């Protein structure tokens, strides 16, 4: 669906994106991760036609984003990281205006308002909305024309747990209906819970690309934390045979008060992959 | 261009102003000012402008209170009663340049020399016509009255000299000195040939001198009305257009619209359609309140389009150069102050040509001419100047838009 080949974006002499290759499949919920300044937003800017690549190509459904921009434009919805509503209009009027540009029926505004649970506040001016409500209104706007591609830049930032769940549900529904979703976020739990695949970029380059499960498998720590009956703490490395035997002996003699496996830590993995791990 | 998108964008602009109300409040204030200007007109003359011809007062300054002056005083027509002011300036030399005439006024200075003092040995009537600069016909209604009553006076005087059969009244054009003098000479000859004794005593020789007052062109009320009309166009095109455009850019709403199916041409086209149209409607409303007849004047509409186009180009240029709403506001203010200073410096120092490069130089002149109904060939040249400058500004703005990116 989306093919990024050798993408390079320069700001002066600084390469914000440096030879990025990525294939995103139709109906996939893809997480694009990376530290601040890694090149995620620049990549999204290229995808939404707001930045021309310095080198490389980006195609969406076979159409080049630079040459065939007018054909690509109606196919995607975009939720920016910074809200951009008409403050003086109500939520409903904001959606109706963009609905008119997309040529969708007026009632569609009500549908998406209900979808993001903003229908009760629909007739209030946006200037009175909380940050979370504004974020949900952005998602509602992006869903107006039922796009085949959704770009979301931190869609759940500032949202409470319930609202974040609503957003997750909507994204899953969209994916089930065949839409392709690209998500950038700093919430690792969200990525793990939501994304089919994850691409981690750092300094403009792709450093990891896999499903969250596969990343978990390849970066899990095979260690067990044990507290002995006398209160002393030990860590047994399951990769080491001697350590395994010592653990077995301790458990068989009943000397272990508690055992805890070390869970996969996506955050730590992310930091390690991006070269920013805490030592 | 798709109409449903243009319509949605135009409605959006209108609704934004309805919601914010600031722009509408100022428009209402401008219309209220025009209503007050019209309601509190000092006289009924010239559709409530208080102006007859091109001035609101015409001074008849004389060095001697001769019977001619008394005749003129007694025969002031009712329609000019509030406009004509007689002043005895006492000494002849005082007339020759020591009197200062306020803006929006003109004068007919009457200087009489009698045969005894004159080197020619004949009575001489010298008339200095002080008219507003660039508008030599501004005193036409006063001159017409002056020449008519002067002739009546001299004819009456001929009767007292025993001339019963007066010659037919010669035709003359009050705006043409040559015909005035020629008509007067014919009148003099006719009186002489009719047998009046001492024809030169009955009808003195006539000299007419015409002089501009030096920049004192605008009537105060007409100037205020012109100012309101110009400001209505400036406010919508040079202030509202760039500030709201930059506000949308700053907030990211312009990006949101750009990512919708609306094309840049449609988004910008709607903006550049809405603001000049709103400005022209507001300006026409103000002008109509001041003087309804102006709406039927082609010159007025052409002037509005030319000035509106010029201001649109300036507004577009500011909208391109400024990135934030604050920068756009300051850009508009800086432009206004700079151009005002430039025009003032050029005017006070008599610097030629430079003023012609400003839309603000031509705009008020053509709009004032349209509002006062006194359109001369020079005003058409000003209109042409405004059109050329407007086209230059729009071209420059379009080039900048392409170069810098409209977002």
**Listed residue (A32, A20, A18, A3) closest to A199, CA to CA:** A32
Which of A12-26, A206-220, B250-264 shows the lowest mean pLDDT across its residues? A206-220
Q: What is the pLDDT of residue B389?
A: 93
Please report, rounded to a whole number, the percentage of residues in chain B having pLDDT higher than 90.
15
Q: What is the pLDDT of residue B44?
A: 44
Q: Is B363 or B378 the better-scoring residue by pLDDT?
A: B363
**Listed residue (B227, B231, B258, B232) closest to B245, CA to CA:** B258
Q: What is the pLDDT of residue A93?
A: 94
Q: Do A89 and B263 touch (CB under 8 A)?
A: no
Q: What is the pLDDT of residue B167?
A: 59
Q: What is the pLDDT of residue B198?
A: 55
Residue B333 C-alpha, separation from nearest chain A C-alpha, in angstroms: 25
Chain A residue numbers touching B19 (CB-CB < 8 A): 88-89, 125
Positive or negative, the CA dihedral B131, B134, B136, B140 is negative
pLDDT range class, residue B406, cuts 50, 70, 90: low
Per-residue CA distances from B195 to A137, B159, B161 (Å): 101, 11, 10
Q: What is the pLDDT of residue A273?
A: 75
Would you call B262 an interface residue with chain A, using a CB distance cutoff of 8 Å?
Answer: yes
Mean pLDDT confidence for A192-213: 87
Q: Do A101 and B253 touch (CB under 8 A)?
A: no
Q: Do A84 and B263 touch (CB under 8 A)?
A: no
User: Token pair of A270, please?
Assistant: 């992310």
The reported pTM is: 0.68
Q: What is the pLDDT of residue B230?
A: 92
Residue A135 C-alpha, separation from nearest chain B C-alpha, in angstroms: 14
Distance of CA B295 to the CA centre of its chain: 16
User: Token pair of B105, please?
Assistant: 């006024």
Contact B221, B51 (CB under 8 A): yes
pLDDT digits (tens, 9 = 90+) for A138-170: 999 999 999 999 999 888 887 888 888 999 999
Positive or negative, the CA dihedral B252, B255, B260, B266 is positive
Q: Is B117 or B229 the better-scoring residue by pLDDT?
A: B229
pLDDT digits (tens, 9 = 90+) for B285-304: 999 988 888 899 999 999 99
Mean pLDDT confidence for B361-383: 86
The answer on pLDDT for B47 being more than 90 is no
Please report, rounded to a whole number, the percentage of residues in chain A having pLDDT higher than 90.
31
pLDDT range class, residue B138, cuts 50, 70, 90: confident
ipTM of this predicted structure: 0.80
Q: Do B16 and A78 touch (CB under 8 A)?
A: no
Chain B residue numbers touching A85 (CB-CB < 8 A): 251, 253
Q: Do B259 and A49 touch (CB under 8 A)?
A: yes
Contact B328, B322 (CB under 8 A): yes
The answer on pLDDT for B4 being more than 50 is yes
For residue B209, the cross-strand partners are B128
CB proximity under 8 Å: A 59-88 to B = 70, 73-74, 76, 78, 80, 82-88
User: Token pair of B262, please?
Assistant: 């609306």
Residue B180, judged by CB atoms within 10 A of its CB (0-12, 13-18, 19+), counts as: buried
- Of all residues in chain B, the one with the smallest CA distance to A126 is B19
Q: What is the pLDDT of residue B45?
A: 44
Q: What is the pLDDT of residue B119?
A: 66
HSE at residue A97, side-chain half, CA atoms within 13 A, is 23
């Amino acid at each position: 669906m989306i093919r990024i080949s050798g993408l390079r974006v320069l700001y002066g002499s600084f390469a914000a994106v440096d030879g990025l290759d990525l294939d995103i499949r139709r109906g996939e919920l893809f997480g694009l991760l990376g530290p601040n300044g890694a090149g995620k937003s620049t990549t999204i800017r290229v995808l939404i036609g707001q930045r021309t690549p310095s080198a490389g190509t980006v195609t969406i459904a076979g159409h080049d984003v630079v040459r065939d921009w007018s054909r690509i434009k109606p196919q995607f919805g975009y939720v920016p990281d910074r809200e951009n509503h008409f403050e003086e209009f109500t939520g409903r009027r904001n959606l109706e205006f963009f609905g008119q540009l997309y040529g969708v029926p007026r009632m569609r505004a009500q549908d998406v308002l209900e979808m993001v649970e903003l229908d009760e506040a629909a007739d209030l001016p946006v200037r009175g909305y909380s940050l979370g409500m504004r974020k949900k209104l952005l998602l509602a706007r992006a869903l107006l024309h039922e796009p085949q591609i959704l770009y979301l830049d931190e869609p759940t930032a500032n949202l409470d747990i319930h609202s974040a769940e609503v957003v997750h549900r909507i994204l899953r529904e969209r994916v089930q209906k065949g839409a392709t979703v690209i998500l950038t976020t700093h919430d690792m739990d969200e990525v793990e819970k939501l994304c089919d695949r994850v691409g981690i970029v750092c300094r403009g380059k792709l450093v990891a690309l896999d499903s969250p499960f596969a990343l978990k498998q390849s970066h899990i720590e095979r260690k067990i934390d044990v507290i002995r009956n006398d209160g002393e703490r030990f860590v047994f490395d399951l990769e080491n045979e001697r350590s395994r035997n010592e653990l077995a002996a301790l458990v068989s003699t009943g000397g272990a008060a508690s055992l805890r496996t070390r869970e996969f830590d996506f955050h730590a993995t992310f930091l390690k992959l991006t070269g920013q791990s805490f030592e | 261009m798709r109409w449903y998108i243009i319509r949605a964008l135009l409605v959006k602009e209108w609704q934004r102003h309805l919601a914010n109300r600031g722009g509408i409040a100022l428009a209402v204030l401008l219309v209220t000012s025009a209503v007050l200007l019209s309601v509190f007109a000092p006289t009924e003359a010239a559709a409530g402008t208080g102006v007859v011809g091109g001035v609101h007062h015409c001074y008849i300054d004389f060095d001697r209170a001769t019977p001619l002056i008394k005749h003129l005083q007694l025969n002031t027509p009712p329609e000019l009663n509030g406009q004509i002011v007689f002043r005895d300036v006492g000494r002849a030399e005082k007339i020759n340049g020591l009197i200062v005439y306020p803006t929006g006024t003109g004068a007919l200075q009457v200087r009489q020399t009698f045969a005894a003092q004159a080197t020619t040995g004949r009575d001489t009537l010298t008339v200095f016509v002080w008219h507003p600069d660039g508008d030599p016909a501004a005193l036409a209604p006063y001159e017409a009255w002056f020449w008519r009553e002067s002739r009546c006076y001299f004819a009456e005087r001929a009767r007292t000299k025993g001339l019963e059969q007066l010659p037919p009244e010669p035709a003359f054009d009050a705006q043409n000195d040559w015909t005035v003098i020629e008509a007067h000479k014919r009148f003099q000859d006719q009186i002489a040939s009719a047998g009046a004794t001492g024809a030169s005593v009955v009808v003195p020789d006539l000299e007419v001198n015409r002089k501009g007052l030096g920049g004192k062109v605008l009537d105060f009320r007409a100037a205020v009305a012109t100012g309101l009309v110009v400001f209505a166009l400036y406010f919508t095109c040079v202030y509202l257009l760039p500030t709201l455009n930059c506000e949308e850019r700053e907030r990211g709403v312009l990006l949101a619209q750009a990512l919708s199916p609306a094309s840049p041409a449609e988004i910008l086209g709607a903006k550049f359609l809405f603001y000049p149209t709103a400005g022209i409607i507001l300006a026409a409303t103000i002008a109509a309140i001041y003087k309804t007849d102006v709406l039927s004047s082609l010159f007025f509409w052409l002037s509005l389009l030319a000035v509106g186009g010029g201001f649109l180009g300036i507004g577009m240029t500011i909208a391109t150069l400024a990135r934030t709403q604050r920068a756009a506001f300051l850009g508009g203010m800086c432009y206004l102050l700079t151009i005002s200073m430039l025009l003032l410096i050029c005017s006070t120092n008599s610097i030629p040509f430079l003023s012609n490069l400003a839309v603000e130089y031509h705009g008020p002149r053509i709009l004032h001419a349209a509002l006062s109904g006194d359109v001369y060939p020079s005003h058409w040249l000003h209109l042409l100047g405004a059109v050329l400058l407007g086209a230059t500004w729009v071209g420059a703005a379009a080039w900048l838009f392409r170069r810098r990116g409209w977002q």
